[in-house]
């Protein structure tokens, strides 16, 4: 019998070692490809080294501070020094050292798991160049020089970097982007946060809890524009109650150093002073100089790489995943796009990306977690649904824990009663949203959710209660 011809292994080069890149590399290696990852800054990408993991590690400390702050009403009494007016404080140098150690350890774990499945790592900056075999190859430049990696296919997962405004350039000391915060050794006395999107809100919330005076400069009517309006309102109220200065409809024109502080000048001429300023005005894709035009990969006017739902770009054999595609800037979405790309490339079963079942969380105090269709889409008629909102203040466990703010909201499709979305605002909303995500993903009805046991007493009891309130299944 003639021997079965051995198919040559697919040579895949992944450019970028963040969640979009490393998750794809793992899947591709498991599916038999010959995989090389090219990365400039360290495995894990900005998700692990500068953005997601560091911010959530910092927030872990701020959560403890929030709990300590609210503990006296639960009967906790502290030693006499604190009773006489001294407050619990943080040593920011220690907190930031922990943040960096944890991030580097996480990066090391990723390196180990990639090496274990045979993925090669090449350190350097990659760019696409016309290849000798039809598709593009990857040219890598590093301190050691330049070399070309031949590729049968390429995955671009180069992420994004903080947006910089010419009139408010970070100096790394007093005017900072979020990647520079972890070099601070002392808590900012008065931190001005420019930008009230997710990143601005999370850091404003964290530094307020850590003990800084915080001014949040928001160019819009309310914080978190684009998120659930009820949730944003709860958060803004919580911010103000805890002493944050929230400046609405205030556009920062310039940020300058003055003495050993900063001055933020608003469009109406008002000057806001602080000891430090955090610029949180969004991100731009890291696609400049990537050779996209040279090989014909299409981009949007914002520089994001255009992809379809299985992560294909306009050039055969070239895929893209993560923040550089501009779909939804989340580590979980980047990783999923990367996995989908590899399954598609290597002929495995694949389900195209659906953003309707992505759950996401804003790690403020309280947290805000969402999944599926939104209130705005229900209100506009884009989604045919009804909603119910239950304040957590009526939940027995919340009362015991001293939780007074937050709610659970569920959306169900008119007629069928299928759960199509939800919002949870409260402590650990990031964990509480999962049952709603399961319901949305598996098209459970409100009755399915209502029939499931929840622990008594528990915050998740409010999710089942909200589902019960939507019975009988809403009719058209």
Ligand X SMILES: Cc1cc2nc3c(=O)[nH]c(=O)nc-3n(C[C@H](O)[C@H](O)[C@H](O)COP(=O)(O)OP(=O)(O)OC[C@H]3O[C@@H](n4cnc5c(N)ncnc54)[C@H](O)[C@@H]3O)c2cc1C
Which positions touch ligand X (CB under 6 A)?
Answer: 15-21, 38-41, 45-47, 51-52, 55-56, 125-126, 157-160, 178, 199, 286, 290, 322-324, 329-332, 334, 363
If the CB atoms of residues 33 and 341 are measured against ligand X, the closer one turns out to be 341
In the complex, what is the shortest distance from the CB of residue 17 to ligand X, in angstroms, rounded to a whole number?
Answer: 5
In the complex, what is the shortest distance from the CB of residue 93 to ligand X, in angstroms, rounded to a whole number?
Answer: 20
If the CB atoms of residues 322 and 406 are measured against ligand X, the closer one turns out to be 322
Kindly give, in sequence order, each residue whose CB lies less than 8 Å from that of residue 60, ignoring residues fewer than 6 positions away.
none
If the CB atoms of residues 211 and 285 are measured against ligand X, the closer one turns out to be 285
Distance CA 322, CA 158 (A): 8
Kindly give, in sequence order, each residue whose CB lies less than 8 Å from that of residue 444, ignoring residues fewer than 6 positions away.
418, 419, 438
In the complex, what is the shortest distance from the CB of residue 24 to ligand X, in angstroms, rounded to a whole number?
Answer: 9
Cβ neighbour number for residue 331 with a 10 Å cutoff: 21
If the CB atoms of residues 369 and 388 are measured against ligand X, the closer one turns out to be 369
If the CB atoms of residues 197 and 435 are measured against ligand X, the closer one turns out to be 197
Site of tokens 């955090």: 278
In the complex, what is the shortest distance from the CB of residue 235 to ligand X, in angstroms, rounded to a whole number?
Answer: 16
In the complex, what is the shortest distance from the CB of residue 2 to ligand X, in angstroms, rounded to a whole number?
Answer: 43
The Cα diameter of the chain in Å comes to 90
If the CB atoms of residues 150 and 221 are measured against ligand X, the closer one turns out to be 150
Site of tokens 């998120």: 227
Q: Both tokens of residue 26? A: 């793992």
If the CB atoms of residues 21 and 417 are measured against ligand X, the closer one turns out to be 21
If the CB atoms of residues 18 and 131 are measured against ligand X, the closer one turns out to be 18
In the complex, what is the shortest distance from the CB of residue 334 to ligand X, in angstroms, rounded to a whole number?
Answer: 4
In the complex, what is the shortest distance from the CB of residue 321 to ligand X, in angstroms, rounded to a whole number?
Answer: 6
User: Torsion angle of alpha carbons 166, 201, 193, 197, nearest 10°?
Assistant: 20
Distance CA 234, CA 426 (A): 10
In the complex, what is the shortest distance from the CB of residue 141 to ligand X, in angstroms, rounded to a whole number?
Answer: 9
In the complex, what is the shortest distance from the CB of residue 362 to ligand X, in angstroms, rounded to a whole number?
Answer: 9
If the CB atoms of residues 56 and 98 are measured against ligand X, the closer one turns out to be 56
In the complex, what is the shortest distance from the CB of residue 219 to ligand X, in angstroms, rounded to a whole number?
Answer: 18
If the CB atoms of residues 161 and 254 are measured against ligand X, the closer one turns out to be 161
Burial environment of residue 9 by CB neighbours within 10 A (0 to 12, 13 to 18, 19 or more) = exposed
In the complex, what is the shortest distance from the CB of residue 435 to ligand X, in angstroms, rounded to a whole number?
Answer: 19
If the CB atoms of residues 40 and 473 are measured against ligand X, the closer one turns out to be 40
**What backbone torsions phi and psi does residue 425 show, to the nearest 5 degrees?**
-120, 120
If the CB atoms of residues 37 and 463 are measured against ligand X, the closer one turns out to be 37
In the complex, what is the shortest distance from the CB of residue 99 to ligand X, in angstroms, rounded to a whole number?
Answer: 12
Burial environment of residue 161 by CB neighbours within 10 A (0 to 12, 13 to 18, 19 or more) = middle
């Amino acid at each position: 019998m003639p021997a079965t011809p051995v198919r040559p292994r697919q040579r895949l080069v992944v450019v970028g070692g963040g969640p979009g890149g490393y998750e794809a590399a793992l899947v591709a290696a498991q599916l038999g490809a010959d995989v090389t990852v090219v990365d400039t800054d360290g495995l894990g990408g900005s998700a692990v080294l500068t953005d997601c993991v560091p911010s959530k590690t910092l927030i872990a400390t701020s959560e403890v501070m929030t709990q300590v702050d609210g503990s006296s009403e639960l009967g906790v009494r502290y030693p006499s020094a604190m009773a006489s007016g001294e407050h619990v404080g943080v040593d920011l140098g220690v907190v930031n050292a922990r943040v960096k150690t944890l991030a580097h350890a996480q990066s090391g774990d990723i390196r180990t798991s990639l090496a274990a499945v045979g993925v090669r790592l090449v350190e350097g900056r990659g760019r696409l160049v016309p290849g000798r075999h039809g598709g593009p190859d990857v040219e890598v430049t590093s301190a050691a020089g330049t070399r070309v990696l031949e590729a049968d296919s390429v995955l671009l997962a180069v992420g994004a970097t903080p947006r910089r405004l010419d009139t408010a350039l970070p100096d790394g000391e007093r005017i900072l982007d979020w990647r520079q915060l972890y070099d601070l050794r002392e808590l900012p006395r008065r931190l001005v946060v420019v930008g009230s999107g997710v990143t601005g809100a999370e850091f404003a919330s964290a530094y307020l809890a850590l003990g800084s005076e915080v001014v949040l400069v928001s160019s819009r009517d309310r914080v978190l524009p684009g998120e659930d309006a009820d949730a944003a309102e709860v958060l803004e109220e919580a911010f103000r109650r805890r002493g944050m200065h929230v400046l609405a409809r205030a556009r920062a024109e310039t940020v300058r150093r003055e003495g050993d502080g900063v001055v933020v000048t608003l469009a109406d001429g008002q000057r806001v002073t602080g000891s430090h300023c955090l610029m949180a005005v969004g991100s731009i894709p890291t696609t400049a100089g990537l050779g996209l035009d040279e090989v014909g990969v299409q981009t949007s006017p914002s520089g994001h790489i255009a992809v379809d739902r299985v992560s294909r770009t306009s050039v055969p054999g070239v895929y893209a995943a993560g923040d550089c595609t501009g779909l939804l800037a989340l580590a979980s979405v980047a990783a999923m796009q990367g996995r989908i790309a590899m399954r598609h490339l290597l002929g495995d079963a694949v389900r195209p990306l659906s953003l309707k079942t992505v759950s996401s969380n804003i790690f403020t105090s309280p947290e805000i977690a969402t999944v599926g269709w939104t209130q705005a889409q229900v209100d506009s008629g884009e989604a045919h649904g009804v909603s119910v909102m239950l304040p957590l203040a009526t939940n027995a466990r919340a009362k015991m824990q001293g939780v007074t703010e937050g709610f659970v909201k569920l959306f169900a499709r008119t007629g069928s009663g299928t759960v199509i979305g939800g919002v949870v605002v409260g402590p650990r909303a990031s964990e509480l949203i999962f049952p709603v995500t399961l319901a949305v993903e598996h098209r459970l009805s409100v009755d399915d959710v209502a029939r499931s046991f929840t622990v008594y007493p528990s915050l998740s009891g409010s999710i089942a209660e909200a589902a019960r309130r939507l019975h009988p299944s809403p009719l058209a």
